[in-house]
């Protein structure tokens, strides 16, 4: 005998409806979790730090439409050979900003390039490290707001937002990517790396 058999008929009907809705909800959640797991699995295939047989230069990025805005003086940026500020996007009307740092090797990019990039990506990290940074070459471009790039004095205000939410390392490159948070930044990093590989310069 089922527990609902002790309920009046009207209540039994209501209980059956509730049970049915609960079953549908559980099924929907299960499907959603499965779909989310598949997406997470696909995203997991993207490596934030990956080696490459190729030694990249800025020409490899220019070849598929990356545009440079300025070259930074890398004095004070440990181990860096070059550093560029530029923009790119699959949609030419919605391009995003990137900072690309080149090193002599993948080992250098990881061993001496990781920490300086980590210090300036994400608003909390950039604010925490702003007084102790060894290199400030891209300082003005590391911040942004709706009305444009922030100056040093603007950064001392209350509306401080880091432009680069995260970064990736591919071969000898360290790439900082525009984004409101780590997830959005890594999506844009991935788009750039995919375009690089599709151009024939991947590795």
Q: What is the pLDDT along the chain (203 residues), one digit of tens a residue?
A: 555 555 555 545 454 444 544 443 444 334 333 333 322 333 556 899 999 999 999 999 999 999 999 999 999 999 999 999 999 999 989 999 999 999 999 999 999 999 999 999 998 889 899 899 999 999 999 997 544 455 555 545 445 789 999 999 999 999 999 999 999 999 999 999 999 999 987 66
With residues binned 3-state (H G I as helix, E B as strand, rest as coil), the percentages for the chain, rounded to 5, are: 45, 20, 35
Place of tokens 């790439």: 175
The token duo for 191 is 């788009």
Whether 98 and 186 have beta carbons less than 8 Å apart is answered as no
pTM: 0.73
Total Cβ atoms within 10 A of residue 90:
13
Distances in whole angstroms, Cα of residue 53 to Cα of each of 32, 105, 159, 170: 39, 10, 42, 10
Q: What residue ranges do the domains of the chain occupy? A: 3-44, 49-201
Cα–Cα–Cα angle for 91, 169, 85, rounded to 5 degrees: 50
Q: Partners of 30 in the beta sheet?
A: none
């Amino acid at each position: 005998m089922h527990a609902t058999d002790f309920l009046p008929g009207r209540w039994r009907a209501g209980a059956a409806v509730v049970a049915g809705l609960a079953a549908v909800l559980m099924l929907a959640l299960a499907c959603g979790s499965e779909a989310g797991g598949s997406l997470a699995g696909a995203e997991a295939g993207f490596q934030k730090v990956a080696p490459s047989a190729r030694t990249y230069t800025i020409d490899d990025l220019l070849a598929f439409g990356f545009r440079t805005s300025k070259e930074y003086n890398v004095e004070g940026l440990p181990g860096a050979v070059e550093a560029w500020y530029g923009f790119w996007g699959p949609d030419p009307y919605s391009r995003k900003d990137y900072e690309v740092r080149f090193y002599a090797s993948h080992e250098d990019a990881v061993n001496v390039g990781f920490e300086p990039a980590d210090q300036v990506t994400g608003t909390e990290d950039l604010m925490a490290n702003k007084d102790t940074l060894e290199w400030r070459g891209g300082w003005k471009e590391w911040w942004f707001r709706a009305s444009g790039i922030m100056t040093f004095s603007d950064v001392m205000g209350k509306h401080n937002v880091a432009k680069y939410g995260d970064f990736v390392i591919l071969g000898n490159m360290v790439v900082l990517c525009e984004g409101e948070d780590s997830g959005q930044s890594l999506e844009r990093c991935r788009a750039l790396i995919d375009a690089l590989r599709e151009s024939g310069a991947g590795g």
